[in-house]
């Protein structure tokens, strides 16, 4: 390195006698630092106390977490077979604490004719406390399959409260030894729906007595709505001019009984079993003989056959919904049945 680039360092002078700058000494002796140092022991003690209190609080919170989680678990798990029973149970359970209501079959599936339980269904049954079904042979899987999945589950068939009808028009579901040849489509009648809602209320109150007042209040409100629906159907039936109808299968027999209608023929005598050419011709002759007002198809099935029969017979085809599929709204049953009422009124009263 060139000598002219070297800068000499400043001369370091020794501190004055007494060890350091007197002004700096005064700062350390009389300034804020000694006061801070004197406070440190107290700060440490307060900090240690705060940490102990925080640790104790954290321990209490950790102990409380399992209890809080457990409190959120439902006290009563209710499993319903399919859509109409689910709607009845949801309306009755309402906001009752500790109650969960689940539907086993998907809402888009429809009536559980010949339904086979899946492993997922078996898990739902195993986790449930109460199984609410329609009954009268609608759910053929009730009995041994359910008991195998959950020996302790209580099964309630809500249609047991209904006066059953025999199968009509030669219609046959799979034989049910416990119920014989009864028609299981009870819920399609609003009058029967009220009886089944009461059966749901009773089952829930027995399973969760502490919530019985809530169930009673909810059931009363729901039954009042269904009773209004019954009155609407009765008023409309008073002006029906033609009471002979053709239906896709025997799902509307209970509603026909309520309204004084006569089902003079079915397109399908069993679900999924279409008629032969000879049976279609016989049905067309029957329509002409009885002057049936219309053929009523169902949204759960193709309307192709119904349209063909109606076209051959020269009468209209309309859609009636048995509420086996559809909306999960609490008013889903009423909404569908009011739509049915509008269709029946249009066709049967000549409007």
pLDDT in tens, 167-199: 865 444 444 444 458 999 999 999 999 999 999
Q: How far is 185 from 183, CA to CA, in rounded Å?
A: 6
In whole angstroms, give the CA distance from residue 94 to residue 220.
Answer: 12
Instruction: Evaluate whether 91 touches 197 at the Cβ level (below 8 Å).
Output: yes
Q: What share of the chain is helix, strand, coil (3-state, %, to 5)?
A: 50, 10, 35
DSSP state of 78: E
Q: What is the pLDDT of residue 123?
A: 97
Question: What domains, with CATH codes, occur in the chain?
Answer: 76-233 (3.40.50.1980), 239-348 (3.40.50.1980)
The tens digit of pLDDT for each residue in 116-163 reads 999 999 999 999 999 999 999 999 999 899 999 999 999 999 999 999
What tens digit of pLDDT does each residue of 31-66 get? 554 554 455 555 455 555 555 665 555 555 545 544
Q: Quick check: pTM over 0.85?
A: no
Contact of 332 with 323, CB cutoff 8 Å: yes
pLDDT of residue 54: 53
The whole-number pLDDT of residue 160 equals 97
User: Residues 137, 179: contact at Cβ < 8 Å?
Assistant: yes
**Tens digit of each residue's pLDDT (9 = 90 or more) over 264-320:** 999 998 777 889 999 999 999 999 999 999 999 999 999 999 999 999 999 999 999
Of 76, 120, 70, nearest in space to 98 by CA? 76
Name the pLDDT band for 82 (thresholds 50, 70, 90): very high
**Torsion, Cα of 71, 73, 74, 77 (10° steps):** -160
Neighbours of 33 (CB within 10 A): 11
Give SS3 for 299: coil
Please list the residues that pair with 131 across neighbouring strands. Answer: 79, 155
How far apart (Å, rounded) are the C-alpha atoms in residues 344 and 181?
A: 28
Average per-residue pLDDT for the chain: 84
Residue 5: pLDDT band by 50, 70, 90 thresholds? very low
Q: How far apart are CA 214 and CA 212, in angstroms?
A: 5
pLDDT one-digit tens code per residue, 185-234: 999 999 999 999 999 999 999 999 999 999 999 999 999 999 999 999 99
Residue 351 predicted with pLDDT over 70: no
Assess whether pLDDT exceeds 90 at residue 20. Answer: no
């Amino acid at each position: 390195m060139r000598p002219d680039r070297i800068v000499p360092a400043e001369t370091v002078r020794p501190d004055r006698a007494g060890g350091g700058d007197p002004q700096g000494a005064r700062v350390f002796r009389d300034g804020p630092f000694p006061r801070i140092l004197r406070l440190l022991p107290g700060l440490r003690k307060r900090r240690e106390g705060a940490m102990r209190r925080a640790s104790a609080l954290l321990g209490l919170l950790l102990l409380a977490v399992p209890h809080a989680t457990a409190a959120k678990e439902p006290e009563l798990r209710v499993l319903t077979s399919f859509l109409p029973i689910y709607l009845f149970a949801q309306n009755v359970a309402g906001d009752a604490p500790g109650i969960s209501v689940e539907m086993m079959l998907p809402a888009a599936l429809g009536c559980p004719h010949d339904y086979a339980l899946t492993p997922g269904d078996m898990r739902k049954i195993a986790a449930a406390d109460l199984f609410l079904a329609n009954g009268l042979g609608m759910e053929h899987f009730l009995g041994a399959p359910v008991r195998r999945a959950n020996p302790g589950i209580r099964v309630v068939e809500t249609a047991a409260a209904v006066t059953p009808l025999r199968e009509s028009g030669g219609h046959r579901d799979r034989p049910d030894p416990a119920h014989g040849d009864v028609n299981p489509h009870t819920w399609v009648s609003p009058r029967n729906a009220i009886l089944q809602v009461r059966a749901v209320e009773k089952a829930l109150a027995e399973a969760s007595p502490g919530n019985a007042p809530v169930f009673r209040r909810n059931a009363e409100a729901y039954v009042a709505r269904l009773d209004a629906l019954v009155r609407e159907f009765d008023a409309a039936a008073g002006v029906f001019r033609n009471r002979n109808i053709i239906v896709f299968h025997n799902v509307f027999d209970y509603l026909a009984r309520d309204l004084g209608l006569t089902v003079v023929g079915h397109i399908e005598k069993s679900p999924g079993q279409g008629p032969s050419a000879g049976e279609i011709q016989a049905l067309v002759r029957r329509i002409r003989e009885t002057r049936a007002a219309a053929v009523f198809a169902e949204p759960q099935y193709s309307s192709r056959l119904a349209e063909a029969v109606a076209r051959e017979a020269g009468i209209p085809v309309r859609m009636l919904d048995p509420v086996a599929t559809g909306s999960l709204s609490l008013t889903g049953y009423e909404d569908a049945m009011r739509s049915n009422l509008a269709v029946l009124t249009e066709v049967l009263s000549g409007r």
